[in-house]
Chain A
Amino acid sequence: MATGTDTGPGTDTAGGFGQVSRTVGVVFRYLLLAATMFGIVTLAVLLVYVANDAIQPLTADPGWYLTFFVTLVLPTGVAGAVLARRNPAALRLGAGVVAILAVSLLFSGGVAMVFVDIVSPILWLTYLLSLAVGFAGVVAIERFDRRLPFLARFGLSAAVLAVALFVLPGIIWRSPVFPTDGLIVGLTLGGVTAALVGRGAAARRGRRAGLAVGGLVLVAILAGTMAGPAVGVDSVPAAVLLSVAFVPTGAYAAGAAIDRPQDRTGLGFAGVVLGGVVVGAVAVDALGFAGPQSWVNWGFLTNAHSGTAANAGLYPAIGGSILLMATVALLSFPLGVGAAVYLEEYAPRNRFTRFIDVNISNLAGVPSVVYGLLGLGVFVTYLGQPTGTVLIGGATLALLILPIVIISSREAIRGVPDDLRQASYGMGATRWQTVKNVVLPRAFPGILTGTILALGRAIGETAPLIMIGAPNVLFSLPTELSSKVSAMPLQVYAWASLFASEDFYTKAVPAGVVVLLVVLLSMNSIAIVLRNRYEDEG
């Protein structure tokens, strides 16, 4: 722990110890700092190199740079400097708003991709309605808490959920009329956003205000969805953009403005930044300055692979990565947390538990290639599943990150103070009740952070996917669990090693690397922000 007080080098203690050399301490301190910075600086340099290759900033018109300097950099710098001196908290708020907008835009791109090309909104609505009915049924059954024994209730709930999952969708699917795609997405996603915003408003201004705000937000999102095509944005992406990016950011800004009126100038800073970007973009368009001939452009993100490097893109690979992540999260989260709960809450301290411990730390160190072999041997050869599908890929990657999820969940659970557990037991709660109501809620942020970091690792893994037969090149997005799936690192690896054209190697690969890194760094930052927030609170 940093003790804060510098009791060390340089103090000329009286008499008995003589003159203490200052140099060793100072040199040591700077050596340590240099060592710490070595890896970070090297990585930063490499990132600059790869960004340069991908975005090619030197090919832009000087006028382009000048315009953006005048509209964006200069005002931001001035505003930032002024705020930093007067009101640093406001500056942090403003920067936070900009960052949230950027990350949520990224996220909404992924979600839009899901609704445009992977899951049809009608299918989504069907399953949503069925699940809603199912859960309503389960809640209703729970009301009979006193009249039915536990096993009966459990069996009944399972039956209700099974009907909801397997029978109901087929019935709803046959309905002759559905809302349009944009409306479906707007209602479902926008409804969730509106509910959250309304809750925030209700917490601050009372229930009626909450309902009013929530209703208004929903209407606004729906209006935007319908108005989208008029501005050139399809209704489904418009709905996603509004409900995932713009409204949450606006709500965050509004909430902060209400809570901390003294920091309202921070919002002005955010306005300066965003306004600068918009004005700058309009200006370079009007003045006709050419931007950098970046390989990371809209075409790159929305095209599939092509033989000519200039037309090649990452779209199916990005979609594949998203689907894989969803599958991996669904598989590894419950299993990993379950194992951690067992080891921390239920397991007696005997040899068997120690054996599991050693086992898990050993699995964390097994090479990813061996996991690929495992996936190949067990899922493909032994169970006879088709190769390279979302399910197999997701299962193999889930096995890969399971030890990591278990280890970080255990740390989070261990962080819950024992007194809380004792208090719960003292009041007569059973183990499961304690776990459900005391331990897990408190450990949840830590578990979430660990899972997000583990998912980040899974996104970047290539070797297991190669082994289980995931295709290197796909032309369309996977649409169900049994579709073949590619992933971003696989596609980039294919570009680097399998095509003779130099352009793939020198331009497309860095562009792919940049996209992959942007996704990963956003995931990492979300995890870090989450952890910081809950560490401060907890």
Chain B
Amino acid sequence: MSTDDLESDLTRRTENAPQELLTRSFFFLCAVLSIVTTVSIVVLLTTEAAKFFTITAPLMGVEGATASVVDFLTGTDWVINAGEFGVLPLVSATLMITIGSAVIALPLGVATAIYLSEYASARARSMLKPALEVLAGVPTVVYGFFALIYITPALEVVLPSIGTFNMLSASIVVGIMIIPMVASISEDAMSAVPDELRQAGYGMGATKFDVSTGIVVPAALSGIFSSFILALSRAIGETMAVTIAAGAQAKLLNPLNPASYLEGALPMTAAMVNLLTGDITGGGLAYRSLFAIGLTLFVITLVMNIVSDLVAQHYREEY
């Protein structure tokens, strides 16, 4: 951002020339487009979700079946045909994907970042970084197919009780997908740690292990934490991979129980895709639940991003 008073002083005279005004307004409009997008998303989701909930439906002029907000947020059954719209099973499934992929991606991502920033030679870095970007470049549909067609049969050999659709393979592929995000952002954060700190450590006789884990990682902590949140919100919002691999039956499972990962369940994003492509009545209550779920998802990712921003601000070390 142009904070320089010097720059503002130097350009003040020409600031109001028509050329300058024109270009400035064009760029401003481009930036404002992002706000317009967010506002549109919020308006769209809220108006349609308002048609879904009992409290707000009369405001939208909707009569007919609606669902109560309390039931939606606390209900444990998601059975469309029976009119039960409790979102908790969907949230628990999304939570399972998030936790599962976090278990894979966060340690591996940070380890990768440490290796790339502290241990790897320039040649190794020049080969590994592009390879990681390839990981990030594979489409999510392809990851979903990989999970369904190759990973699940492989897991069946080790864990025979695993279902065809299960949360474990979905978590594995989502985890692999977000490793590059964690790795690259954490690595940037670690690279930004000034060398003096490392040299000070070495100078005091610390080993590379000590320096990496005791000096660099804590110094880069805010960046690492941001990378976590970013990667996790990507995992929460992951659509096609979980639609293909995780299953289609809504079940309330315990995210902290490892055995529940062997079953299939229905995460929020997959529920949305299924609602839109299934045979339910168009425009009916079930259809509108699509937007209610979308709104919930949006709120969750928004909160996570705001928290991440605040924490990063709070813990950021200025060098």
Q: Do A and B contact each other directly (Cβ–Cβ < 8 Å)?
A: yes
* Size bin of chain A's contact surface: 35 or more
**Interface flag for A191 (CB, 8 Å):** no
Contact A343 B31 (CB under 8 A): yes
Known contacts A367-B239, A460-B140, A524-B133; decide if A36 and B116 are in contact (CB<8 Å): yes
Q: Please report the C-alpha to C-alpha distance between residue A368 and residue B15 in the assembled complex, in whole angstroms.
A: 40
Contact with A along B93-130 (1 / 0, CB 8 A): 00000000000000110011011111111100110101
Contact B126 A365 (CB under 8 A): no
Q: CB-nearest residue of chain A relative to B176?
A: A39
Q: CB-nearest residue of chain A relative to B139?
A: A460
**Interface flag for A212 (CB, 8 Å):** no
Within 8 A of B (CB), among A5-48: 6-9, 13, 16-17, 20, 24-25, 28-29, 31-33, 35-36, 38-40, 42-43, 46
**Interface flag for A286 (CB, 8 Å):** no
Contact A32 B237 (CB under 8 A): no
Shortest distance from the beta carbon of B129 to any chain A beta carbon, whole Å: 8
**Interface flag for B256 (CB, 8 Å):** no
Chain B contact residue count (CB 8 A cutoff): 107
**Interface flag for A520 (CB, 8 Å):** yes
**Interface flag for A59 (CB, 8 Å):** no
Contact A362 B38 (CB under 8 A): yes
Find A50's partner among B146, B230, B277, B309 (CB 8 Å cutoff): B146
Within 8 Å CB of A38, what residues of B?
108
Choose among A373, A492, A521 the residue with the greatest number of B CB atoms under 10 Å from its CB: A373
**Interface flag for B23 (CB, 8 Å):** yes
**Interface flag for B131 (CB, 8 Å):** yes
Within 8 Å CB of A510, what residues of B?
149
- Identify which of A72-80, A218-226, A348-356 touches chain B: A348-356
Contact B26 A338 (CB under 8 A): yes
Within 8 A of A (CB), among B19-49: 19-20, 22-24, 26-35, 37-38, 40-41, 44-45, 48
Q: Please report the C-alpha to C-alpha distance between residue A270 and residue B243 in the assembled complex, in whole angstroms.
A: 45
Known contacts A6-B208, A362-B301, A367-B236; decide if A40 and B140 are in contact (CB<8 Å): no
Known contacts A33-B115, A46-B150, A339-B31; decide if A520 and B139 are in contact (CB<8 Å): yes
Within 8 Å CB of A406, what residues of B?
34
Q: Please report the C-alpha to C-alpha distance between residue A42 and residue B143 in the assembled complex, in whole angstroms.
A: 11
Contact B305 A361 (CB under 8 A): yes
Known contacts A345-B2, A430-B20; decide if A36 and B112 are in contact (CB<8 Å): yes
Within 8 Å CB of B179, what residues of A?
39
Q: Please report the C-alpha to C-alpha distance between residue A403 and residue B38 in the assembled complex, in whole angstroms.
A: 11
DSSP majority for the B interface? helix
Within 8 A of A (CB), among B222-241: 230, 233-234, 236-240
Q: Please report the C-alpha to C-alpha distance between residue A217 and residue B125 in the assembled complex, in whole angstroms.
A: 40
**Interface flag for A326 (CB, 8 Å):** no
Known contacts A35-B115, A370-B294; decide if A425 and B107 are in contact (CB<8 Å): no
Shortest distance from the beta carbon of B223 to any chain A beta carbon, whole Å: 14
Q: Please report the C-alpha to C-alpha distance between residue A254 and residue B31 in the assembled complex, in whole angstroms.
A: 45
Contact A373 B137 (CB under 8 A): no
Shortest distance from the beta carbon of A437 to any chain B beta carbon, whole Å: 13
**Interface flag for B10 (CB, 8 Å):** yes
Within 8 A of B (CB), among A499-538: 509-510, 513, 516-517, 520-521, 523-525, 528, 532
Given A373-B294, A431-B11, A432-B20, 19 more pairs with CB closer than 8 A: A2-B116, A8-B207, A49-B150, A154-B22, A334-B30, A339-B27, A342-B31, A346-B24, A348-B3, A359-B34, A361-B230, A361-B309, A363-B34, A374-B40, A402-B37, A406-B34, A426-B10, A431-B20, A517-B138
In the A-B complex, list the 5 residue pairs whose CB atoms are closest, starting with the nearest: A460-B139, A8-B208, A367-B237, A338-B30, A35-B111
